[in-house]
């Protein structure tokens, strides 16, 4: 099987699958069981300073979004950082690291935004022999209202300042965890690099309300008749996370900055997609909270088999897709496809017809005996039919040959290179 040994900012682990800072990494018992199951590393649940005690709610902490089959698509949590004493956590981290020297163990940190607080907690964790620190600049609830978490992560100047403090007062590699609750993810990543960060991790949870109880008229989860916003995670956030990882990977001012990918990783394929877009490893939370620690077995075997089939090393996968991520105006408008329906695979459900007829371009015909065919002269290649079809591979998008005439537009598919030269582009017309 392919070698999955990982070295992320000098932190070695037997595979690139880490557990994210969250309830699964809150104590020695959990982390030990995770390592026994095969996880390559963990980021210990966020530690705070010895200030006022952290008090979590005593009622429900999670809201949820499910698919039609009750499959969990997303979790919203209102849980805070660890509510266990700092020294208890430090003692457990020290024991775990000494028992599992081949595994990565990174400590997530969140303290008030002043240099002495950061200097003090970095001094406190030094003796644990942990491999690195992750600065939690992402938590959108509870701690943000106290001037920490995403309250720092939304201000690039604060990110740069705190990161510089950490690099000044610590020997450990420093990973900055970014909040997605911001307009342009590149700005905080650039700030982290200016501050001396060794890497960034993203995304943290998305600020959200997942549901409203229509009897009590309160957001869920509901605590004594009231609710609040929380952090959203799980498979539903993966597209947002992939885009933000790619934006950092292809940005000139952050290119080459190591990235730990987080957000909806459930299978080996999810992990491979993050790595192809520039992540050096991935962190997992919701999938473990849904299915347990042993899902890492599928991740390890699946990624190993994929790399073997491709004849690739793990390092070959990282960033492989980044050169193919571009802006819309650089897409090739010569490339034209048409939908094709495999009649042998079609189950005659009519979803493609309903979707195209009612909401798209009326490009699918239905015969009296429910045979569905594509009208090339009306098909704009939106591929909505592919996405609504319940039979995988039944409808495919077939490229037209270069130089062929598109029956819908009457033009040859090689007329325009991209949007920058297309006559419908106002800037192109102005240039003429």
Q: 226: which DSSP letter? A: B
CATH (domain of 128): 3.20.20.70
Regarding whether 161 and 53 lie in a shared domain, the answer is: yes
Structural domain contains residue 195: yes
Structural domain contains residue 273: yes
Regarding whether 335 and 265 lie in a shared domain, the answer is: no
Structural domain contains residue 1: no
**Predicted local distance difference test score (pLDDT) of residue 152:** 85
Q: Which of 139, 285, 352, 389 is catalytic?
A: 139
Q: Domain tally for the chain?
A: 2
**Predicted local distance difference test score (pLDDT) of residue 427:** 62
User: Given its phi and psi angles, is residue 70 left (phi above 0), alpha (psi -120 to 50 degrees) or beta?
Assistant: left
CATH (domain of 404): 3.30.70.20
**Domain range for 177:** 6-324
pTM for this one? 0.93
Q: With a cut of 70, list the residues of the chain below it in pLDDT.
A: 141-149, 416-417, 419-420, 423-432
Q: How many Cβ atoms sit within 10 Å of the Cβ of residue 251?
A: 16
CA separation for the pair 357, 333 (Å, rounded)? 25
Regarding whether 358 and 303 lie in a shared domain, the answer is: no
Closest CA to 203 of 169, 246, 250, 144: 246
139 belongs to the catalytic site: yes
Regarding whether 281 and 406 lie in a shared domain, the answer is: no
Helix axes of 186-194 and 238-250: crossing angle, nearest 10 degrees: 50
**Predicted local distance difference test score (pLDDT) of residue 1:** 83
Query: Considering 324, 347, 374, which residue would you say is the last residue of a domain?
Result: 324
Regarding whether 273 and 162 lie in a shared domain, the answer is: yes
Q: Which residues does residue 19 pair with via DSSP β-bridges, in sequence order? A: 42, 284
Regarding whether 373 and 267 lie in a shared domain, the answer is: no
Regarding whether 104 and 246 lie in a shared domain, the answer is: yes
**Predicted local distance difference test score (pLDDT) of residue 426:** 67
Query: Considering 268, 297, 324, which residue would you say is the last residue of a domain?
Result: 324
Query: Considering 297, 324, 351, which residue would you say is the last residue of a domain?
Result: 324
Residue with tokens 């015969």: 367
Regarding whether 270 and 192 lie in a shared domain, the answer is: yes
**Predicted local distance difference test score (pLDDT) of residue 11:** 98
Regarding whether 332 and 319 lie in a shared domain, the answer is: no
**Predicted local distance difference test score (pLDDT) of residue 403:** 86
**Predicted local distance difference test score (pLDDT) of residue 430:** 55
Mapping DSSP to helix (H, G, I), strand (E, B) and coil, where does residue 134 land?
strand
How many residues belong to the chain? 432
pLDDT in tens, 115-126: 999 999 999 999
Structural domain contains residue 200: yes
Regarding whether 242 and 218 lie in a shared domain, the answer is: yes
Structural domain contains residue 344: yes
Regarding whether 169 and 232 lie in a shared domain, the answer is: yes
**DSSP H helical segments within 44-149, as ranges?**
86-99, 115-125
Regarding whether 355 and 297 lie in a shared domain, the answer is: no
The answer to whether the beta carbons of residues 99 and 32 sit under 8 Å apart is yes
């Amino acid at each position: 099987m392919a070698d999955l040994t990982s070295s992320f900012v000098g932190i070695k682990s037997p595979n690139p699958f880490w557990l994210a800072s969250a309830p699964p990494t809150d104590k020695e018992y959990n982390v030990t069981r995770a390592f026994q199951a095969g996880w390559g590393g963990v980021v210990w649940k966020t530690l705070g300073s010895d200030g006022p005690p952290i008090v979590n709610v005593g009622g429900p902490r999670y809201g949820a979004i499910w698919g039609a089959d009750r499959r969990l698509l997303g979790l919203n949590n209102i849980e805070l950082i660890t509510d266990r004493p700092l020294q208890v956590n430090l003692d457990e981290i020290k024991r775990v690291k000494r028992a599992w020297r081949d595994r990565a163990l990174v400590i997530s940190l969140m303290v008030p935004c002043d240099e002495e607080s950061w200097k003090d907690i970095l001094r406190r964790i030094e003796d644990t022999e942990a491999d690195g620190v992750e600065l939690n600049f992402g938590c959108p609830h509870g701690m943000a209202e106290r001037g920490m978490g995403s309250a720092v992560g939304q201000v690039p100047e604060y990110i740069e300042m705190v990161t510089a403090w950490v690099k000044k007062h610590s020997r450990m590699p420093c990973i900055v965890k970014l909040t997605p609750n911001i307009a342009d993810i590149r700005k905080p990543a650039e700030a982290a690099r200016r501050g001396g960060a060794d890497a960034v991790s993203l995304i943290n949870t998305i600020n959200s309300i997942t549901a409203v109880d229509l009897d009590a008229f309160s957001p869920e989860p509901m605590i004594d008749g009231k609710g609040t916003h929380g952090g959203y995670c799980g498979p539903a956030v993966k597209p947002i996370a992939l885009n933000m990882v790619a934006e950092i990977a292809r940005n000139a001012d952050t290119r080459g900055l190591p990235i730990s990918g987080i957000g909806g990783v459930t299978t080996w394929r999810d992990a491979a997609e993050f790595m192809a877009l520039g992540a050096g490893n991935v962190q997992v939370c919701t999938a473990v909270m849904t299915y347990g620690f042993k899902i890492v077995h599928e991740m390890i075997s699946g990624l190993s088999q994929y790399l073997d089939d491709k004849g690739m090393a793990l390092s070959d996968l990282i960033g492989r897709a980044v050169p193919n991520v571009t802006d819309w105006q650089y897409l090739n408008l010569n490339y034209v496809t048409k939908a094709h329906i495999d009649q042998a695979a079609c189950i005659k459900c009519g979803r493609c017809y309903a979707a195209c007829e009612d909401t798209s371009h009326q490009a699918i015909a239905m015969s009296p005996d429910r045979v569905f065919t594509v009208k090339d002269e009306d098909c704009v290649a939106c591929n909505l039919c592919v996405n609504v079809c319940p039979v995988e591979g039944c409808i495919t998008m077939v490229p037209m040959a270069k130089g062929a005439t598109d029956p819908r537009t009457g033009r040859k598919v090689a007329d325009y290179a991209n949007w920058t030269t297309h006559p419908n582009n106002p800037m192109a017309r102005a240039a003429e």
